[in-house]
Amino acid sequence: MSKDAYGLAAEAAGVLKGRTGVDSFDVLLVMGSGWVPAADAIGAVVAEFPVTDLPGFAAPAVAGHFGTIRAVTTESGAKALILLGRTHLYEGRGVEPVVHGVRTAIAAGVRTVVLTNAAGGLRPETQRVGEPVLISDHINLTGSNPITGATFIDLTEVYSKRLRALAREVDPSLAEGVYVAFRGPTYETPAEIRMLRTLGGDLIGMSTALEAIAAREGGAEVLGLSLVTNPGAGLVGEPLNHEEVLQVGRETAARMGVLLGTLVNKL
């Protein structure tokens, strides 16, 4: 990340602290497509305002992403920061805006990052639509990386084993899978889905991997959660559309809210 990007994240963190009255945050939650309704179960709202009030943030360009930032206090007393939406690489703004939210949160004290997303399921024989899946690892096929220069980050454990174990304490039925990140915005072809299954992928989406890398660079632990909203292209013969993604999110909001709310109180 450039020095300007570091400075912009620090500047945004300073404004964030002033707007919320919170000197330091404990956890960041990034709510992906379909996950926004679940945010209400995480804690008592301290402040909420458009992300564009902070330096370096742009309004989300995707339906289902509200473009607001919320500070909450959980039942355990933790200070949580919730991004109700994210910037995607396919929006054409470059890599640094994609990870700016994570960088800002880390500059504001966050040491635990929870990344959620909607994902296509690559294993319909074992995955059910509407089920959350813990991300155990990822394959970054976006062609991008938020880190430049000779900064070498160990990605042996991008997604924390400790946090995944905590999540399974909350919900023992949670499965794990490898998330494959594409740039988008097109959905994958059936041939690409077959390739990804061969490579060992279990989930396919257009976010998360770059944010996870940025979080690890900043020293934060990362937990990733995918909501399976549809089978991958060609696996069941049905066309893909974004409204289906949002509908699954609305139908599962209560369960996802309980999962996240309980999990955050264990962190």
Torsion from C-alpha of 92, 98, 104, 107, nearest 10 degrees: -120
Q: Is 88 a catalytic residue?
A: yes
Angle between helices 95-107 and 3-20 (to 10 degrees): 50
Tell me how far the alpha carbon of residue 110 is from its chain's centroid. 15
Say if strands 175-181 and 203-205 run parallel, antiparallel, or are unpaired: parallel
Catalytic-role residue among 61, 195, 242, 251? 242
Catalytic-role residue among 5, 65, 131, 256? 65
Catalytic-role residue among 1, 9, 31, 33? 33
Contact, 47 vs 19, CB < 8 A? yes
Contact, 207 vs 181, CB < 8 A? yes
Determine the residue type at 65: H
Catalytic-role residue among 48, 91, 176, 251? 91
Catalytic-role residue among 1, 71, 88, 253? 88
Q: Is 207 a catalytic residue?
A: yes
Q: Is 136 a catalytic residue?
A: no
Q: Is 90 a catalytic residue?
A: yes
Contact, 141 vs 50, CB < 8 A? no
- C-alpha distances (whole Å) from 104 to each of 46, 54, 262 are 18, 10, 25
Torsion from C-alpha of 238, 239, 240, 241, nearest 10 degrees: -120
Q: Is 91 a catalytic residue?
A: yes
Catalytic-role residue among 48, 90, 136, 195? 90
Q: Is 188 a catalytic residue?
A: no
Tell me how far the alpha carbon of residue 185 is from its chain's centroid. 17
Determine the residue type at 208: T
- Rounded Cα–Cα distance for residues 100 and 82 (Å): 14
For residue 107, give every residue at least 6 positions away whose Cβ sits within 8 Å of its Cβ, in sequence order, or none: 9, 10, 12, 13
- CA 78-249-186 angle, to 5 degrees, is 115
Positions marked active-site: 33, 65, 88, 90-91, 118, 206-207, 230, 242
